[in-house]
Amino acid sequence: MKPIPGPPPTPISALQRAQDRLSFVYLERCVVHRDGNALTATDDRGVVHLPAATVGALLLGPGTNVTHQAMVLMAESGSTCVWVGEQGVRYYAHGRTLTNASRLLEAQAALVSNQNLRLRVAREMYAMRFPGEDVSALTMQQLRGREGARVRKAYRDASEEFGVEWTKRDYRPDDFTGSDPVNMALSSATTSLYGVCHAVIVALGCAPGLGFVHTGHARSFVFDVADLYKAEIAIPVAFKVASEQEPDDIPAETRRAVRDAIVSQDLLARCARDVRRLLVGDQGETADDAPDWDVIYLWDRKGTKVVCGQNFSDDAPW
């Protein structure tokens, strides 16, 4: 029998964990290839080498050509690719997960399918965003009202701190440059934040579409998780950039500023920890050490795990 061509996949247990990786890298109008164990991005200015095994999310913008070997390396490294549009403000597709275990996914599905449990998670998300408030008895309508008031205050505070005039959030998906500078910066900042949160969610094996506060969208859970950090990272970064940069420089400068904030605040580790905490509580702290990365079980209605690959018939020949 002929050997199977190509290198075998790297065992997931040997890959770097999601929370220990770099935040994101945005590329556009270049050719992405592979040089050994590094990705290369080539354009008319030269070649840049990127450590694939430590990239959390690779955001591929317009004009990007990716070779087969580059995608093989990304798959081997367990890095997530997110295909985005101009200035990184549109989402098209994403790559693979960094785990074969379904523990968090099953917990997420169970929580989102029960109204009481779903409300409990929504309350915990709000408490994480705005600590110091007792939300244990609030309804979803009351939570939305509190959130709206807090977010408006975050915009006003940032406007006063950085001296940028603020009227309202004006997001135009079909015309990015049609907004004022601070709204363009907010769009770029939130998109970068979405990409990083998406990468963590996918890497942990969760479903981006099963949200608790948001619903009905393929990335509802991404929006939920990103909202945990929006008032802390995206809003102040956007207002700061808008106060310093010309409009033409805002998208790139905002992405770099968000990246720096993500690194300085260790957001990937926080995000992975927060997702586990929301879905499995105190057990989330040790989820990385679970021994069943690549083990398949059979379902049993008693709630126990039944080992797979075993014949359970009475007359089995072995």
Binding-site sequence positions = 147, 214, 227
- In the chain, beta strands by DSSP E: 22-27, 30-35, 38-43, 46-51, 55-60, 64-66, 80-84, 91-94, 297-298, 306-307
Q: By three-state DSSP, how is residue 183 classified?
A: helix
For residue 29, the SS3 value is coil
Residues listed for the chain: 318
8 A C-beta contact, residue 124 and residue 132: no
Closest CA to 167 of 180, 185, 177, 151: 180
Long-range pairs for 249-253: beta carbons < 8 A, 24 or more residues apart: 250/181, 250/184, 250/185, 250/188, 251/87, 251/88, 251/176, 251/184, 251/188
Contact present, 196 and 57 (Cβ < 8 Å) = yes
Q: Which of 227, 214, 238 is nearest to 271 (CA)?
A: 227
Please, what sign has the CA dihedral across residues 262, 266, 269, 271? negative
Contact indicator for 278, 121 with CB cutoff of 8 Å: yes
Residues at the binding site for Mn(2+) are 147, 214, 227
What is the DSSP code (8-state) at residue 15?
S
Side-by-side strand order, sheet with 64-66: 46-51, 38-43, 30-35, 64-66
Tell me if residue 8 falls in helix, strand or coil. coil
